[in-house]
Chain A
Amino acid sequence: MSMERRDLFKLAGVAAAAAVIPSVVVTSATAAEVANKASGKTIVIVGGGFGGLTMAKELKKKDKSIDVTLIEKKDIFMACPFSNTYLGGLKDVSLETLTHDYYAPASKHGYNFVQAEVTAIDRKAKSVTTTSGNFAYDILVLSPGIAYDYEGQFPEWDANKIASVAQACPAALMPGSEHLALKRQMVDMDDGDIVIVPPAAGKYRCPPAPYERAAMMAHYLKTEEIKGKVVVLDTRGGKFAKGAAFKESWADLYDGLIDYKGFTKVIDVDTAKKEITYLEFPDAATLEEGDADDAKKQTAKYEVCNLIPVNKCSPVTKMADIETNGAGYALMDGYSFRSKSDKNVYVVGDAVAHKIPPSGQTAIWGAKRAAGQIVAQLSGKADDPKAGLPAAAANVCYSMVGGAPEEAIMVTHEFSADASGVLKGKGHVPKPKDGNGKFRSKGTGKATREWFAGVKRELFM
Chain B
Amino acid sequence: MERRSFLKLTGTSAAAIVIAPSLITQRLYADDGALYQTYEKIQLKDADGNPLKASTLTVEENYVFNFPHVATPSIMVDLGEATNKDVKLKADDGTEYIFKGGVGKKGSIVAYSAICPHQLTHPTPDDTFFQYLERKGKTLAMPDAKEAGVFLCSSHLSAFDPKDGGKRLSGPATEGLAQIVLEIDENDEIWAVGVLGPDRFHDYMDAFKPEFKKYYGNKRKAKKLVKTEAKVVTLKNFSKDIIQY
Residues in chain A within 8 A of chain B (CB atoms): 61-62, 361, 364-365, 368, 391-394, 396, 410, 412, 414, 428, 430, 432-434, 443-444, 446-447, 450-451, 453-455, 457-458, 461
Contact = CB atoms under 8 A, between A and B. Distances in A.
Given A443-B243, A454-B119, A457-B120, A393 B157 contact: yes
Nearest to A441: B243
Given A392-B141, A412-B140, A454-B119, A61 B92 contact: yes
Interface stretch (B168-176, B177-185, B216-224): B168-176
A461 B203 CA distance: 7
Nearest to B171: A393
7 contacts: A361-B156, A392-B170, A428-B143, A443-B243, A446-B129, A446-B243, A461-B207
Secondary structure class of chain A's binding surface, majority of residues: helix
Contact of A392 (B119, B143, B154): B143
Interface string B90-133: 00110000000000000000000000001111000001010000
A62 to B, nearest CB: 8
A458 B241 contact: no
A198 B170 CA distance: 34
Contact of A450 (B142, B155, B171, B172): B155
Nearest to A365: B172
B197 to A, nearest CB: 16
Contacts of A368: 174
B84 interface: no
B129 A450 contact: yes
A454 B120 contact: yes
B245 interface: yes
A140 B171 CA distance: 28
B156 A454 contact: yes
B241 A443 contact: yes
A412 B157 contact: yes
A446 B127 contact: yes
B182 to A, nearest CB: 28
Contact of B170 (A393, A450, A454, A455): A393
Contact of B121 (A361, A433, A450): A450
Contact of B141 (A393, A446, A458): A393
B231 to A, nearest CB: 26
Given A433-B244, A457-B119, A392 B156 contact: no
Contacts of A451: 155-156
Interface string B128-163: 010000000000111110000000001111000000
